[in-house]
Amino acid sequence: MSENWEPKIVTFVCNWCTYAGADLAGTSRFKYSPNIRIIKTPCSGRIDPMFIVAAFEKGADAVLISGCHPGDCHYNEGNYNARRKFIMMRRLLSELGIDNERVIFAWCSASEGIKFARLVNEVSEKIKELGPFDEYHNLDQEER
């Protein structure tokens, strides 16, 4: 691992709560680690568990998924549906030996700018500890 290695964290968020929460972190000038890239979806219900796999394939070291708290969903139920999918995905990834620390789920509301900033920093620190997800990234290379 090179010394100035920075983790790549792909973040999928819903538009109404977490994206707005991330905006609030900005307007409140809460500083956080610059190694996340946010991909906006309308609702956590739109986030396919396979996005996690796609992100790992493209070099992500961790994936953070966040939507509205239960009961807050702009579409009433999207986050509840998403939660069931995530439950299954987590179990499957853990069966495959993929560290659950690399796939983080969080609820973060539009008013939780501070939670969003802290979350990013915590995840970033954790992934720095774990190091790059070489196992996944190098899946093909080892064959060669």
Partner 1 sequence: MARIGVFVCWCGSNIAETVNVSKASEISGNIPGVVYSVDYKYMCSDPGQTLLKNAIKEHNLTGAVVASCSPRMHEKTFRKAAKDAGMNPYMLEMANIREQCSWVHDNKDEGTDKTIDLIRMMVEKVKRNHPLEDIKIPVTKKALVIGGGVAGIQAALDIAAGGVPVVLVERESSIGGKMAALDETFPTLDCSQCILTPKMVEVSQDPLIEIMSFSEIEKVEGYVGNFKATIRKKARYVDTDLCTGCGTCWLKCPVKVTSEFEQGLGKRKAIYIPFPQAIPSRPRIDPENCLKLTKDRCGICQKVCPTKAINYDDVDRLVEVEVGAIVVTTGYKIMPVSEFPEYGGGRYKDVVTALQFERMVCASGPTLGELQRPSDGKLPETVVFVKCVGSRDPEHHHSYCSKICCMYVAKQTMLYRHKVHNGNCYVFYIDVRSNGKNYEEFVRRAQEKEGAQYIRGRVSQVYKDGEDLVVEGADTLTNSQVKIKCDLVVLATAMEAPDGIKELAQKLGISYDQNGFLTEAHPKLKPIESSTAGVFLAGCALSPRDIPDSVSEASGAAAKVLGLLSKDEMHKDGVVAFVNEATCVACQNCIRVCPFVAIQLKDICNRKGEVLRQVADVNPGLCVGCGTCTPSCPSRSIELKGFTDAELFAEINALAEL
Partner 2 sequence: MKELIAKAKELLMNKEVDLLIGYQSAGEKKAKPLLIKNPDDADKLVFNEYCLSNLVTYLNRPDIKALSKVAVVAKGCDIRAIVVLLSENQLVREKIFIIGMTCDHVMSPDGTEENIKCSYCKVRNPHLADVVIGAPIDERISKETVVRHEDIEEFNKKTKEEKWNFWKEELSQCIRCYACRQVCPLCYCERCIVDFNNPQWIDTRSNPRGNFAWNIVRALHLSGRCIDCGECERVCPANIPLMLLNRSLQEEAKDKFDWEAGFDPEAQPPLTTFRKEDDEEFIR
Residue 130's contacts (CB-CB under 8 Å, 6 or more residues apart) are 61, 99, 101, 102
Stretch that binds partner 1, among 53-61, 90-98, 99-107, 123-131 (CB under 8 A): 53-61
Tell whether residue 76 is a contact of partner 1 (CB under 8 A): yes
Q: Using an 8 Å Cβ cutoff, are 108 and 44 in contact?
A: no
DSSP 68: P
DSSP β-bridge partners for residue 84: none
- What, of partner 2, partner 1, none, does residue 125 touch, CB below 5 to 8 Å by kind? none
Q: Which region among 49-57, 94-102, 123-131 touches partner 1 (by CB under 8 A)?
A: 49-57
The yes or no reply on residue 23 touching partner 2 (CB under 8 A) is no
Instruction: Identify whether the C-beta of residue 118 lies closer than 8 Å to the C-beta of residue 31.
Output: no
**104 binding partner 1? (CB under 8 A):** no
Contact in structure between 113 and 30 (CB atoms under 8 Å): yes
CA distance 31 to 51: 27
**Number of amino acids touching partner 1 (CB under 8 A):** 42
Instruction: Give the binding range for partner 2 (CB under 8 A) out of 5-13, 17-25, 30-38, 81-89.
Output: 81-89
97 binds, among partner 2, partner 1, none (CB under 5 to 8 A by kind): partner 2
Q: Is 108 in the site for partner 1 (CB under 8 A)?
A: no
- Number of residues lying near partner 2 (CB under 8 A): 39
13, β-bridge pairs: 40, 66
